[in-house]
Chains A and B, each alone.
Chain A
Amino acid sequence: MNRVLTLTKTLLRDWVRNREAVFFALLFPLLLLIIFSTVFAGGPTEFEVGVQNNDVTSMGEPTELSATLITAIEETPALEPHTVDSDTGLEGIENVEEATGHKRVVVIPDGFDARVRSSSARVRMAVIEDTVNRFQGDISPGQQQDIQDALGGFETEGDASPVSVVLLTVPDDEAAGAVGSIVDSVIARFNDRSIGIEDPTVSKVTEQRGQQALGAADYFLPAFIVAMILINGLMTVPSAVAQFKRDGTLKRLAVSPLRKHEWVIANVIQQSILAVLLSLIMVGVAWALFGVTAIPGPVAIGLVVIGAIGFSSLGMIVGALIQTPGSAISLGGAIALPLMFISGIFWELDLMPATLQTVAAYSPVTHFHRSLREVMILDSTAGVWTTAVLLLVLAFVFFAGAVFLTNWQSFES
């Protein structure tokens, strides 16, 4: 045990004096945390959208209902509408962005006002008819007949089929789906009002439970702690091990009484200590700059340690297999970066395609990140123990693999 502690101390000293390692392990995730937290601290994103109104009066003024729809769009917080001149011909246009300067354009067709009015009359009659049918028992047969006669004698003017508002998008618009959903909700509300529904039957109320007032940094903090552990474990560790192998330092250690499992343990302990220290530094910086309230407690620290053990053991495997530091970083990055991307580190899993969400469900990083977030932000341990067991099993397997694969003989001269 004395040899392990001695070597751990040595590795920590060596790491602290290694500027590249400090940059990649601490400053890089810290910079990402600061950038992401700053960028997303200004509240929800506003999507820019062009609006072209082709439904104007002979005086060139917007018709009443088209103006109402535009107002509804303008009052939607998630949208930032810009007027597109109705003279801009969009019929058959391939490149919408080139023609309008916008990646997405809502086009209100000519005749919108008239069609909405006709449609709304048709819909209102259908509603009345349906209402009468539903309340047959409460209305006398004579009254029912009077209502049917009145509806039968009423005819809608003009085309009463539904009118379409067109949302034009471009192929490389990643936000097209999100904007489409927002425009859908605006139109749904417009539809309600067009038939006289001011108070809908169902409404949504958002309640954030818990006592904390969370900002963007609170959400990114657990994510970047996980990123730091992955970068350290899967990139810095393999690179350092490959360098020690190449320059003969490992050979020098191998001729001492140090056993190879002690070498692996010392590296894993070093990474665990670093993970806790760097997490606390990141929390400190995030608290100082953004006033985060997501302070890690003992359970979160425990998760950080287990994660560090698992991923640094995997890093020791990579380092054991690869001969040069450059190749070790490449292979480590090839494992770490995709894991980060599919595990909700940089963006919400819900924004990813269904296939990737399925893949993400099998990623240990997803569970690690989710549990750390759960315990740090919500102070909840739901699912945390399952994640801890999963990470412990992986840590054991990776550690055993690292000890097995580490070469303690036959070094390259």
Chain B
Amino acid sequence: MGSKGSRTVIETSDLRKEYGSTTAVDDLSLTVFENEIFGLLGPNGAGKTTLVEILQGLRTPTSGTATVLGLDLQESLYEIKDRIGVVPQSFQTFERLTVKENVALMADLHSDSLAVADVLEELDLAEWANVPFESLSGGYQRRTGIAMALVSDPEILFLDEPTTGLDPAARRSTWEQIERLPEMGTTVVLTSHYMDEVEYLADRVALLVDGQIEAVDTVAELIDTFAGAVKLVVHLTDQTPETEEKSLATLLEESAASVYRNDDGALIGVFSDRQTAQDVYTALHDLGTGHSIDLISPGMEDVFLELAGQSLTPEGDLE
């Protein structure tokens, strides 16, 4: 069983990748520690896949250096490949082979491996073991991909957009599989454009925009640093008397950093600390105004908005 450590397993220094006049990765330096889930968050085209493919030995950097598991990427490429696991973004494998045959293939291609049956059992794939890969649903195909990556007992697992295209249930199930990995001694590098995914899974997150890292820290620290404001939203209606509206606004203004009305007519108070917001929320409830009131904590979306200046669409593009 692993515990989050301080041993560096990935380190890049001024890593750069250019395609003609386009710079996909721009002098990027980062460190990933043992047994953590490290999230790489960014819009499509931010350079996430290029970065992880450099670390997997699938692309050659234009300049800069990178070490994986303490080994130089250029000099020890195949030793690194033997010690990492990868679930690519658009995962595919021999589709006419069964789940078990595909997982066994990966076990045999690596110098060390776990028992195939154990891995299938661990990932709830045992009953699908003899089903051809092409007959599986998207969720089970993705799970097979994870099994193929884990069977070599990798020290680092790269997951590139692991839940894209999955239904909510399959997504949640995949998350549960991923969050258990550090306990098994595997460091996870998770690439995603889903805020909730990164927020739920990652111990630390690097926010990548235009090939550069805008910020790296734990989710909590990023939120505290870049999106500390807590919002209290009072949903007014057309029937709300003007006097009541004014008294509610006054109540908010007494302790909120700012108060404003949004496009829907809701009254919003922005608080710098959660406790004050919670107190005002309780006070409003006790008044019994009859209005719906929400207390909204900031999240990675707010961090992203603050740092990138734009939100992300569900497809991962900048709005």
Contacts and interface: CB of A to CB of B under 8 A. Distances in A.
A173 B57 CA distance: 63
Contacts of B109: 3, 6-7, 253, 256-258
A252 B92 contact: yes
A254 B78 CA distance: 10
B58 A254 contact: yes
Contacts of B86: 252, 255
Contacts of A249: 92-94
B90 interface: yes
A189 interface: no
Contact of A257 (B81, B89, B132): B81
Contact of A14 (B84, B89, B91, B97): B97
Contact of A413 (B56, B82, B89): B89
A409 interface: yes
Contacts of A204: none
Given A2-B108, A3-B109, A256 B81 contact: yes
A248 B97 contact: no
Give the most central of B59, B82, B91, B105: most A CB within 10 Å.
Answer: B105
B97 A257 contact: no
B108 A13 contact: no
A2 B109 CA distance: 8
A247 B110 contact: no
Contacts, number: 72
A410 to B, nearest CB: 6
B71 to A, nearest CB: 13
B58 A252 contact: no
A10 B88 contact: no
Nearest to B58: A409
Given A7-B109, A248-B91, A257-B109, A409 B97 contact: no
Interface in B41-92: 49, 56-60, 78, 81-82, 84, 86, 88-92
Contact of B93 (A17, A252, A411): A252
A409 B73 CA distance: 14
Contacts of B56: 255
Contacts of A14: 94, 96-97
B69 to A, nearest CB: 14
Contacts of A254: 58
B275 interface: no
A271 to B, nearest CB: 17
Interface in A1-58: 2-3, 6-7, 10, 13-14, 17-18
A252 B110 contact: no
A10 B101 contact: yes
Nearest to A255: B86
B174 to A, nearest CB: 18
A255 B57 CA distance: 7
B111 to A, nearest CB: 7
B106 interface: yes
B133 to A, nearest CB: 10
Interface of B is mostly: loop
Interface residues of B, number: 31
Given A255-B88, A413-B90, A13 B101 contact: yes
Interface in A212-258: 247-249, 251-258
A259 interface: yes
Nearest to B152: A256
Nearest to A252: B93
B112 to A, nearest CB: 11
A409 B57 CA distance: 8
Interface in A251-291: 251-259
Contact of B58 (A10, A18, A255): A255
Nearest to B102: A10
Given A10-B97, A413-B49, A256 B110 contact: yes
A254 B86 CA distance: 10
Contacts of B94: 10, 13-14, 249
A265 to B, nearest CB: 14
A255 B81 contact: yes
Contacts of A258: 109
B93 A6 contact: no
A18 B88 contact: no
B82 A257 contact: yes
Interface in B131-178: 132, 148, 152
Interface string B96-129: 1100010001101111000000000000000000
A409 B86 CA distance: 15
Nearest to B108: A6
Contacts of B92: 247-249, 252
Given A251-B58, A409-B59, A17 B78 contact: no
Interface in A385-413: 409-411, 413
Interface string A284-302: 0000000000000000000
Nearest to A19: B96
B91 to A, nearest CB: 7
A411 B56 CA distance: 12
Contacts of B108: 2-3, 6
Nearest to A258: B109
Contacts of B110: 256-257
Give the most central of A10, A254, A255, A410: most B CB within 10 Å.
Answer: A255
Contacts of B148: 252
A399 B108 CA distance: 25
Nearest to A15: B96
B88 A252 contact: yes
A334 to B, nearest CB: 28
Given A6-B109, A410-B59, 11 more contacts: A3-B109, A17-B96, A247-B95, A248-B88, A249-B92, A252-B86, A255-B88, A256-B152, A257-B78, A257-B81, A409-B58
Give 4 nearest A-B pairs by CB, closest first.
Answer: A17-B96, A248-B92, A6-B108, A247-B92
9 contacts: A13-B94, A17-B132, A18-B96, A248-B88, A248-B92, A249-B94, A251-B88, A255-B56, A257-B81
